[in-house]
Structure 1
Amino acid sequence: MAYPKTSAKGTMGVTVGLLVLFVLGASLSCDARKLIITGLSSKETTASDVSVLQINHQESEGEVKASEEVVRIGNVCTMCEEFVTEALEYLKENKTQTEIIDILHNTCSRLLTFEEQCISLVDYYAPLFFLEIGLVQPGDFCESVNLCSQRVIVSLPLSKGKCEICHQAVAEVLLKLKDPETQLDIIEMLLKACTAVESRVKKCKTMVFEYGPLIFANAEQYLETTDMCTAIHACDSPSADSHQALPIEKKSLLSVL
């Protein structure tokens, strides 16, 4: 999947805009300091003039801080877009898609009487999933999660690279998977998806209720025993971030069923 050039142009536009804001804020700050020094040296500055100049100085400092905050946000935004691009490139590879489908088929083989229906669902929805993934734009995604908004509060130091951000994202996903409310939301979503199976709606819902909890448990174990960040090339190698990397162990998503 080729990514549109608008993303690069958007990044360039943001960079230029940030530079303009920074220079403007700095120049206002310098002008305020010069006015204060000139007024003091001539001894003609009144108390009210000094107050006005101090207010202008504070406003200019505020603009400089705002521009610096935008620069920090821009860096996080760019990092997010690079990380998402890497992940999408990984998911669009035929080899990756085949591996994912194989894992799902292997999972279906463990569902006993529902194996045939499960395989049918995988074969029907997997291509649709990869098609939707192919339409995702890194810039739009990062904006949707508020990492490319000028109002976002950046809590990550700039020294943290996409590898560490990836590990933090995986940790967040694990927390969500362990959250009963999140599990309930996913179950409800799967039940709604069963309506698309037409004549097999009842069997589909039975599978959701019977195997949903097992899927959650094994999804957690899969993320805990697989270094996903290395797999999607967010991290160069396990040793490069060994103090943060998750244990690496090849294991099927539902291998413990």
Structure 2
Amino acid sequence: MGVKIGLLVLFIMGASWTCDAREVMTTSLSSGETMISDVSVVVLQINHQEPEGEVKGSEVGRNENVCSMCIEFAGQAIEYFENNKTQTEIIRSLHKSCSRLTLFEQQCVTLVDYYGPLLFLEIESVQPGDFCRKVNLCGQKVIISPPVSEDKCEICHHAIDEVLLKLKDPDTQLDILQALLKACDTVENFVKKCKILVLEYGPLILNNAEQFLESTDICTAIHACTSTVGVVQALPIESETLISAM
């Protein structure tokens, strides 16, 4: 069980590495009915001086105002979510807000429908500043464009490929272990035991992760892809069963 949890952590971290400009509108759209109009118009107007016809991918340069707005709106969006508004209510509010964008209404609705479910996966734990840096609104320029041919299944497979690539990098493995050790500091009464588990089983998990991901259809297991086989089976880990130290 411990190994499976460790692999899930690796997958999530890998997925976050692959998050790029496709998610950049997520923060804007998740900011609630009163915020989406302002931030969307600002971002779209940066390089859309002639917004006629179909909206194409636009580049947003490093801009302190956009960064500040992203952090502020992301913080408000998280607070908005914590006020127990349901996902359906949030999507409905965002659709209503999209109508204010006039020429960009359809593109806005498309982005809400596509990125909404992805947003809800991380909104409970994401920090505004970290999120805005991750989507490059507080960094180098990004490209904003609605998804054309990629679906959840393709994105998932791309994430798995990126994870496998990262796992072959010794520096990345060290970074992962350091991150896990740092996370142990938040486990009040079990910091020492947590770090012992990380040091003892972390390298083992990393060594088996590559083989596991190559032989197991993770994307089907998490329902990102339609199953074409009966049951997804995990590759046995070359280790004795983990014994909880708690």
Give the TM-score normalised by the residue count of structure 2. Answer: 0.43
Structure number with greater Rg is 1
Give the TM-score normalised by the residue count of structure 1. Answer: 0.42
Q: Which has the higher contact order (CA 8 A, sep 6+)?
A: 2
